[in-house]
């Protein structure tokens, strides 16, 4: 990715026996779905996290599509989703006819603001889909309480948060189901891949069928039926065992990977703290109940202009920093659903100002020091307003519009 930068934004490395395992997978001869290594990965996820079932998939997008089928989403249904997320969180449900009901985010964690939930719930609401942004948990106690009150399933898009925790619970084990991504940019990766994690037993059997092209092939392989046939709708969501072999190599090294990422995150935080204070830049906030998954290091710059200036400044030093989600409610598709500028003030203000620094497991100490030094050279002028002031001011305008 972007080989022209001396310090890239992201870089996938091997951390253990990934390549040996790929060779083994090929020698074992079962390289399609649900071979030896796919099962080993599922075992780690099920045991380590304590989920009822972990099904590896071709991507997180596909795991979300499976959930959409499992929840019988159809035309006219509504799902409550952040606008500040990757397109798949929403598209998987829109694909089956749902209308996205976008919910604004909290200023501190950039996660969905649980205080807005009740007013967005209608008789048509079929799911609430929190995304644990940057691997820092949403306020799940409140979200689950509201969802249970209305009998609505909660689906955690946990693409960023594998091995993160909230109030002592593993992320991805709190809602009815959750998803993981093993895309190149995530903490654990095999290039492209993902998983569907199921906590509510009632979804397990049908999930296996949907993942196997709508057939009861999984039952057949367990000897529970003597032939397999077409029993439901479905598609091909199984990951090749070659990719699972790579994934298993990564998952085996989970302690090392996460402790490296923690060290890198803490190093950014400690070395940029006073620079951030002086320059009205906001560093990430991790609430007390959250053990974060160290997925990324972002900063909230005081304005869109300053964000763009810092990206260019770092680029001039051959360091790639990037912004993140362009709000979905302002995209062409979002506008087709009737959303417009001003609907989600926090999402709009924060997404304009967010910048992510290079962050990957093998980021060397020298390279990180170069990034830190470059950032500290950048100065924000004194009469620039801080983002906290902007958020409060524009939020007030937003609130006046609502009441």
Ligand X SMILES: *Cc1c(COP(=O)(O)O)cnc(C)c1O
Contact footprint for ligand X (CB under 6 A):
59-61, 85-86, 88-89, 131, 157, 159-160, 181, 183, 194
Nearer to ligand X, 102 or 275 (CB): 102
CB of 170 to ligand X, least distance (A): 17
CB of 81 to ligand X, least distance (A): 11
Nearer to ligand X, 117 or 131 (CB): 131
Partners of residue 131 on adjacent β-strands: 157
Name the residue among 73, 129, 74, 75 with its Cα closest to residue 101: 129
Interacting residues of 303 by C-beta distance below 8 A, sequence separation 6+ = 352, 353, 384, 385, 387, 390
Nearer to ligand X, 18 or 157 (CB): 157
According to DSSP, residue 5 is labeled S
CB of 153 to ligand X, least distance (A): 18
Helix (H, G, I), strand (E, B) or coil at 354: strand
- Let me know: does 242 contact 22? Beta carbons within 8 Å: yes
CB of 107 to ligand X, least distance (A): 19
Nearer to ligand X, 313 or 323 (CB): 323
Name the residue among 44, 389, 31 with its Cα closest to residue 242: 31
CB of 59 to ligand X, least distance (A): 3
Nearer to ligand X, 58 or 216 (CB): 58
Nearer to ligand X, 34 or 156 (CB): 156
Q: What is the DSSP string of 258-324?
A: HHHHHHHHHHHHHHHHHHHHHTTPBPP---TTEE------EEE-SSHHHHHHHHHHHHHTTB--B--
CB of 180 to ligand X, least distance (A): 8
CB of 265 to ligand X, least distance (A): 17
C-alpha distances out from residue 157 to 74, 182, 234, 241, 352, Å:
20, 13, 21, 24, 23
As a residue count, the chain comes to: 403
Nearer to ligand X, 183 or 280 (CB): 183
Distance CA 71, CA 66 (A): 9
Partners of residue 93 on adjacent β-strands: none
Number of Cβ atoms within 10 Å of the Cβ of 108: 13
Half-sphere exposure of 363 (CA within 13 A, CB side): 30
Nearer to ligand X, 110 or 131 (CB): 131
CB of 247 to ligand X, least distance (A): 12
């Amino acid at each position: 990715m972007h080989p022209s930068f001396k310090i890239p934004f992201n870089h996938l490395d091997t951390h253990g026996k990934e390549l040996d395992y790929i060779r083994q997978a090929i020698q074992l001869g079962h390289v399609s779905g649900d071979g030896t290594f796919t099962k080993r990965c599922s075992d780690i996820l099920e045991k380590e996290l304590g989920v009822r079932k972990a099904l590896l998939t071709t991507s997180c997008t596909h795991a979300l599509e499976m959930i959409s089928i499992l929840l019988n989403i159809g035309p006219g249904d509504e799902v409550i989703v952040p606008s500040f997320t990757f397109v798949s969180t929403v598209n998987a449900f829109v694909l089956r006819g749902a209308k996205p009901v976008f919910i604004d985010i909290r200023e501190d964690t950039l996660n969905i603001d649980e205080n807005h939930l009740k007013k967005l719930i209608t008789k048509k609401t079929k799911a609430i889909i929190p995304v644990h942004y940057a691997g820092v948990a949403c306020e799940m106690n409140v979200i689950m309480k509201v969802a249970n009150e209305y009998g609505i399933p909660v689906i955690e898009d946990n693409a960023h948060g594998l091995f993160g925790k909230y109030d002592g619970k593993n992320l991805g084990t709190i809602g009815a189901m959750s998803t993981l991504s093993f895309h190149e940019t995530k903490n654990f990766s095999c290039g492209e891949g993902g998983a569907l994690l199921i906590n509510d037993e009632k979804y397990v059997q049908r999930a296996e069928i949907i993942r196997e092209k709508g057939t009861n092939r999984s039952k057949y392989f367990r000897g529970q039926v003597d032939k397999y046939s077409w029993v439901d709708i479905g598609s091909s969501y199984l990951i090749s065992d070659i990719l699972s072999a790579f994934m298993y190599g990564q998952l085996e090294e989970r302690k090392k990977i996460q402790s490296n990422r923690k060290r890198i995150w803490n190093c950014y935080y400690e070395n940029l703290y006073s620079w951030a204070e002086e320059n009205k830049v906001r560093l990430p906030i991790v609430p007390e109940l959250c053990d974060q998954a160290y997925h990324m290091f972002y900063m909230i710059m005081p304005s869109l202009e300053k964000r763009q200036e810092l990206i260019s400044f770092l680029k001039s030093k051959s360091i790639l920093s990037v912004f993140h989600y362009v709000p979905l409610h302002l995209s062409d598709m979002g506008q087709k659903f009737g959303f417009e500028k001003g609907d989600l003030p926090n999402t709009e203000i924060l997404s304009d100002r967010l910048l992510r620094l290079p962050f990957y497991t093998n980021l060397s100490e020298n390279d990180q020091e170069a990034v830190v030094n470059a950032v500290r050279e950048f100065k924000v002028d004194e009469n620039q307003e801080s983002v906290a002031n902007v958020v409060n001011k524009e939020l007030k305008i937003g609130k006046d519009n609502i009441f």
